Amino acid sequence: MLTNRRRTKKITLGNLVIGDCSPVVVQSMTNVHTRDIDLCLAQINALAQKGCEVVRLAVPTKADTDALPEIIRQSPVPLVADVHFHYQRALDSINAGIPKIRLNPGNINDRQQVEQVIAACKANHTAIRVGVNEGSIVERKDSHRRQHEQQLNIIDLMIEKLTEYVRIFQDNNFENLVLSAKCHNAARCIAVNRAITQNFDYPLHLGVTHAGDIQTGSVRSAAALGTLLAEGIGDTIRVSLAGDPLTEVDVAWEILSSLRLRQKNAPELIACPTCGRTEINLIEMVEKVKLALTPIKQHLTVAVMGCVVNGPGEADGADVALCGGKNFAVIYRKGQKVASVPADQAVDTLLEQVNIFLKRSN
């Protein structure tokens, strides 16, 4: 377990605490129209079932904010309204009872409008995530508008912009903040978030923006978020993927459980990559075991290994393990050999032992 979490201020969303060394919170975002209440709630419920603890929604139109009261009423998790171009949508969302909004003050030109939003958030105890985005900074850097900006690198510019934004909130005595700095480049994402910790003590939301498809985006997110989290940086995370948001939640939990930061109430599957020693169809077995374990809502470690030479050692510590041989497999429970069966019975026998383990541990 990592013990070097960065101490920050904290915010609360319902019963959920973000920051101040609280467990890192998993977020995702819907990709349906918020105004379609049933569709939106179905996705929020599916995300919550997967372990998503905060769900962000885009509210680009009045129809979307009109839908919020009912969605908030039925949602099992706290919601965040993404309002970053529309101050009026921000006010509508706050009035609807949203516990948090995502706002980029740089996208709202009129300072008075930003201050109106801050006042409404204060009155309603609504939190705000203030974000700075690499994309908008790159545009500024290329615009040659301010000469000294050319001498600063992107990281410095992002910190400068964030400082400018945060000052607006501090001038208005508003502290209910979460900060974020999004880049699509994992190395830059690490650098800018490290820099934020040197400058601010607000809770930090981590994410790699426009990370890519499931494979590329998962690797980029694991590289950036994993590095930062291992350094104790980050209070909430979102893995952004061009794909089903449910996958984002799975990947986020994999990152957290790999670092032993959090443990989901779900099985943890260990599988060997196979090699020239493998004599069973391990990949197919792994798929079958993974599917069969999906409904289980309890943590246990299950290992599926390709050989009895290295398998038992590699699977040491697993609650239940399968180690393949030539047309057979040996099954272990808590390190004890409990069966040796033909390969075609291996998965069923492993799953029987999983059930025995679960019964005995409850």
**Residues engaged in binding ligand SF4 (CB under 6 A):** 272-275, 277-278, 305-307, 309-311, 314
Whichever of 195 and 270 has its CB closer to ligand SF4, that residue is 270
Closest distance to ligand SF4 from the beta carbon of 226 (Å): 23
The rounded distance, in Å, linking the Cα atoms of 254 and 263 is 9
Whichever of 227 and 274 has its CB closer to ligand SF4, that residue is 274
At a CB cut-off of 8 Å and minimum separation 6, what does 312 contact?
305, 321, 323, 330, 332
Distances (CA, A) of 17 to 1, 13, 92: 20, 6, 24
Closest distance to ligand SF4 from the beta carbon of 282 (Å): 7
Whichever of 204 and 320 has its CB closer to ligand SF4, that residue is 320
Closest distance to ligand SF4 from the beta carbon of 354 (Å): 20
Task: For residue 251, give the 3-state DSSP assignment.
Answer: helix
Closest distance to ligand SF4 from the beta carbon of 306 (Å): 3
Closest distance to ligand SF4 from the beta carbon of 302 (Å): 15
Torsional sign, CA 251, 254, 259, 261? positive
Whichever of 79 and 322 has its CB closer to ligand SF4, that residue is 322
Closest distance to ligand SF4 from the beta carbon of 280 (Å): 9
Whichever of 42 and 309 has its CB closer to ligand SF4, that residue is 309
Whichever of 278 and 340 has its CB closer to ligand SF4, that residue is 278
Helices (H), ranges, 200-244: 214-230
Residue nearest to ligand SF4 (CB): 306
Count how many Cα atoms sit within 13 Å of the Cα of residue 185 in the half-sphere of its side chain: 9
